[in-house]
Amino acid sequence: MHALFDERRYLIPFRSILLPQIFTDTLVIGSGAAGLTAAIQASAHGDVILLSKSQLETSNTSWAQGGIAAVLSSEDSAAAHVEDTLAAGAGLCDVPMVERIIGAGPEAIERLLAWGMRADRDEGASLELAREGGHSHRRIVHCDGDATGREMARCLIEQVHLRDTVRVFDRCFGLDLITPSQSDRSPCMGAVTFHPEYGLQMIWARATILASGGAGMVWRETTNPQVATADGMAMAYRAGATVADVGFMQFHPTTLYIAGAHRALISEAVRGEGALLLDANGDRFMVDRHELAELAPRDVVSRSIVQQTARLGTPHVWLDPRPIDGFARRFPGITTSLKPFGLDPSRDLIPVNPAAHYAIGGVRTDATGRTDVPGLYAVGEVASTGLHGANRLASNSLLEAVVMGRAAGLAAAEMLSDTDDNAWGTRPRTGPVRVISDIRPSETGELDLTDVRSSVRSAMWRNVGIERTGSKLSDAMNMLDMWGRYTLDKIFDDPEGWETQNMLLAAMLITRSASWRRETRGCHTRLDFMEPSSGVPVHDLWKKGQQDPVEVAVLVQTEA
């Protein structure tokens, strides 16, 4: 493994005193549901800067077709929702976190509705709850059938704009978190950022909340927008934060599979409303693979599709939406997205295949979003709270985003006190940092970033995809190490280069985690280790400078 994998601290060399200085109480990096919620909450106790890598509306949240899961029916219960989450998580969920987040679900929904978020309702004006894969009850709140994420983002963005204490910096790229030294437990004091108009800037913050989203672009096939390049995971790791369970990537089983087309998501709710999965022979192959058939957990469905296409030698399977009455009314967004390809869900089968969808692991946090770097919090897909275990239950992610976003926004107030009374016993204080990095550019020739990204993504899809083996993972690491020698020591001056380095670092972390985990569990399938390991399931925690992970047993009850 290339030495720079663990030696590189900052992506660029700089001196803080030579750059523009911006100060705030709380810096939020990321504009999805988690970041927006955190910014709203943090604005109650100080000034906030909300950093958006692209336009404010561009995030995984905005692309989310699925809804938000919460117990809102008398026929349902929190215990049932917890049980479903634990079943999907395959023994790796931290039970106290599951109970905490699910317990906060109804209040979170009420808050969103009070803020003006629209939701689908029945003729009696009651919430029209849907059911998705892995859920035993109808508990999914949707808007316009398949546009829940877009409506949630609209609602939260509106709330952000109503708050005078929040400044939005859009098209602003977060390069690295600021720490005064490379020593363990060195506090986070904000971030170095880049704006195409204003250039490099130092944003000093007493509290920094990382909400930068996922890592889908690390794989060739993904449902994620182009901004999902694992920047948050990479910058947190470089700053000394612990990352956990990053080998677990959830592959969504049903994405549109047409040559040259984006792998558009076909929502879980489509199968929840009665759509069937058929192979090339027209057979419902899921019936023989799981008692819930098409509504089995996503890892089961994705793996079944891969195995069925391999068995029959076909490029994809078919999703049959014809059993759904009024498909266009129920799923208008999906209906519109299929029209350019001449597909009518009322009469046509839809070609589908799995694609990388949601990063299960991420930056390790406690119940309030705190990481092990003082002053740094992480929420949403970039974080690893223990809720999802080894495989996320459908529609639990938006729930986690708004619950944990609010929790981190509340907790960040502890860093604003002038006393040392907080979780770490110390408060990061902003101040000049001298020479932060003295990395020199390599002397090799021009690097084709498009080629590097394409190679990394292809290698990850082939070797660190839905089904993995030790030899494939070793091949992937060798290729990543080769690209690392040409890429990680470069100094780039634009986001394309920085994203490529972040993707490469994240790919190395993911592959290392997947190589270490010699078992099949949840969405991590090792064909050479097809059974879960014996004993208590453990999280694998990785920290800069450590070649082997720290193994931490799952929590089954709240620690005293």
Task: Please list the active-site residues.
Answer: 298
Separation CA 415–CA 429 (nearest Å): 9
| Residues 368-380: b if buried by 16+ CB within 10 A, e if exposed | bbbbbbbbbbbbb
Q: Quick one: CA dihedral 13, 17, 22, 23, positive or negative?
A: positive
Q: At a CB cut-off of 8 Å and minimum separation 6, what does 534 contact?
A: none
In sign, the C-alpha dihedral spanning 261, 502, 50, 385 is: positive
DSSP class of 88: H
Asked if residues 467 and 303 have their Cβ atoms less than 8 Å apart, the reply is yes
- The two tokens of residue 403 are 């619950």
Write out the two tokens for 514. 């997947």
- How far, in Å, are 32, 433, 505, 540 from residue 510 at the CA level? 23, 32, 9, 11
Compute how many other C-beta atoms are within 10 angstroms of the C-beta atom of residue 452. Answer: 19
Chain-centroid distance, C-alpha 330 = 27
Rounded CA separation 369/386 (Å): 11
- Distances in Å between the Cα of 158 and the Cα atoms of 56, 153, 169, 292, 324 are 11, 8, 15, 39, 34
Report helix, strand or coil for 28.
strand
User: Residue 265: how many CB atoms within 10 A of its CB?
Assistant: 24
